[in-house]
Amino acid sequence: MAEHNLGSMILLSATNYAIWKPRMEDILFCKDLHDPLENKGDKPVVMKDEEWRKMNRKMIGLIRQCIGHEVFHHVAQGTSAYELWIKLEEMYQAKTSQNKALLMRRLFDDEMQALLLLSSLLESWETLVVSLSNSAPNGKLTTSMVMDALFNEEARRREMGSTWVQCPLMRLRYLGCCLANLMGGAGSETVRMDKPSSELKGEIVESSLSG
């Protein structure tokens, strides 16, 4: 049987189980260490106890080599290859929605968040949108850049007595809440809509949009 190069194997993390699992299965088959999975942890009658013990231990060692540091402690004390495999399956395969949220958080980069904030504004803020877009370094916006500009513009309009401030701000608050829920996932703190704008700025940027 040809040896499989572990150097090309990804390490299991909290977000890549769907990809890791079939690749790990391929490696186990290539190395003839798949019996504990196929037999659900039960030793075949024709196999000697010592052979089964060694195969079980080799499978555990191989799986652990393909696990990231943040996951390793969950299986560090396992002595059954099949039970170890099932434990990983229960931890990550059953949390498909959570894994998708974590993956989305990585893919949903800072520039996209900044563009979403700008697109939520009313037409009365179009001048600011154009100005920010034209002045962005290398044409790339950041959430901190957008938030600073928005709150500076809010302060300027309030000083001038403008009545067009609150509506865009409320839209921004609503978007901040949505992004906080989307990016943080279940269990994270969301942005409160009843806070004054002076507190809102730091909360949206630091708690929900920093990624």
Q: Could you read off the pLDDT of 88-140 as tens digits, one per residue?
A: 988 887 665 665 666 666 666 778 878 888 887 778 778 888 888 888 888 88
Q: What is the pLDDT of residues 151-204, one digit of tens each?
A: 777 777 777 775 544 444 445 555 555 555 555 544 444 344 344 444 444 444
Predicted TM-score (pTM) above 0.75: no
**pLDDT for the residue numbered 190:** 39
Distance of alpha carbon 75 from alpha carbon 85, whole angstroms: 9
Here the tokens at position 157 are 């309009």
Here the tokens at position 61 are 């060692």
The residue extents of the domains of the chain are: 6-99, 108-208
pLDDT band at 144 (very low <50, low <70, confident <90, very high): confident
